[in-house]
Structure 1
Amino acid sequence: MQSLPLSASIVGELIELRPLQAEDFDALYRVASDPLIWAQHPSPTRYQEAVFRQWFDEAMKSESVLVVIDRASHQVVGSSRYYEFNEQTREVAVGYTFLAREKWGGGVNGELKRLMLTHAFQWVDTAWFHIAGQNIRSQRAMEKIGGTFSHTSIKQLAVGTQENFFYKIERATFELRNSMAAT
């Protein structure tokens, strides 16, 4: 499966993004070990080291995961990734995002998504976000950054099923919204 090209570093005002490295496990697990991060998530036990280790190993194989670094403290504060990149349809999904709780409600998630979308829109015209139906916090965050609800889908899990909400952001809409915000 083809990956969206990643830059060595994507720098914003509050955060910096760079590709995940094997030596990031400890710093990223310190963030992920907070059970409240995963409370509304489809994998609510990801705060457990063995469960997180499995996620991390899969993330390393994907070659499309970004580590979020707080520019003021230089500490790892989360992660996000690109997935389902389709060069022919010019689409990519953005997700698997988690941030330290002290970064919730501020500007970090918005900046994270803006940086990732700006980067992705060099190669795609549509970015998709798949959000679990029970994850109200992420649904609200998606709407706050300009995501448009598209449809729902049922995903088969190892144990049962899960309803996912699909949101999208189109490049033209994103660029227009950013140009209006800049003026």
Structure 2
Amino acid sequence: MDRQPVLEGERLLLRPLRPDDWQALFAVASDPKVWELHPANDRWKKDVFRAYFDDALAQGGALAVIDKLDGAMIGSSRLQGFDPADGGSVEIGWTFLARSHWGGAFNREMKRLMLAHALQYVGRVDFRVGENNLRSRRAMEKIGGRLSGRDGGVIQTASGPARHVVYEITRDSFASGPLSL
């Protein structure tokens, strides 16, 4: 599975994240409101975001999200943890969008593009979401994510430990769900 494809929709272009995307992506990420409900709510700080950005490049699978209307960088997401065993799975996550693009249409399109790509190769896509990140949890439910019951683990953040839950979308549920084509 290509974890860094070029995907194009009506409004968005998703392409592999590059080192020279730093300035444009940090301009989006430096808004504290973007991270307000996120477990890593200090990610708007330059040094914290630099570590996040460098990790995204090192892990592979990171995608830059571009608004096709004006060519502006509006966020990022990742395809990580590809596991081809038992029908295969991959995780979509580490997603954030500029506040100007909140409200559903852009996130829905981004996730639809990523899911359509991933589900050609795997039977299940997982999404780890901070247990208390109600904005992201509502967004997952709107796109057809189902709580899996699997433990999402605990991640240490600047504000303390943050428990995560795991949502999933399967090939079958995607074909009949709210993001189906």
- TM > 0.5: yes
1:7–1:165 distance in 2 versus 1, CA, 3 Å: closer
Report the CA distance between 1:178 and its aligned residue. 6.3
SS at structure 1 position matched to 2:162: strand
Deviation above 4 Å: which 4+ runs of structure 1? Answer: none
Mapping of 1:23-42 within 5 angstroms? 23-42=20-39
Q: Deviations over 1:55-113 (max 9, x none)?
A: 11111111100000001010000000011110113001110000000100040000000
Residues 154 and 161 in structure 1, CA contact (< 8 A), matched pair in contact too: no
Instruction: State the secondary structure of the residue aligned to 2:126.
Output: strand
Q: Are residue 175 (structure 1) and residue 175 (structure 2) matched?
A: yes
| Residue matched to 2:133 | 135
Residue type at the aligned position of 1:11: E
* Counterpart pick for 1:81 among 70, 78, 82: 78
SS in 1 for 2:103: coil
2:165 matched to which residue of 1? 165
Per the TM alignment, residue 147 of structure 1 is displaced from its structure 2 partner at its CA by: 0.4
Counterparts of residues 117-136 of structure 1 (less than 5 Å)? 117-136=115-134
Task: Give 1:161 shift.
Answer: 2.7
Gaps spanning 5+ residues in structure 1: where? Answer: none
Per the normalisation by structure 2, the TM-score is 0.92
The alignment-based identity, stated in percent, is 40
RMSD (Å), alpha carbons: 1.7
Contact (CA 8 Å) 2:40, 2:157: kept in 1 or not? no
Q: Distance in 1 between matches of 2:92 and 2:49?
A: 19
For 2:113 and 2:132, how far apart are their aligned partners in 1?
26
Q: How many residues align?
A: 178
Relative distance call for 1:42 and 1:63 in structure 2 (3 A) is: same
| Corresponding position of 1:144 | 142
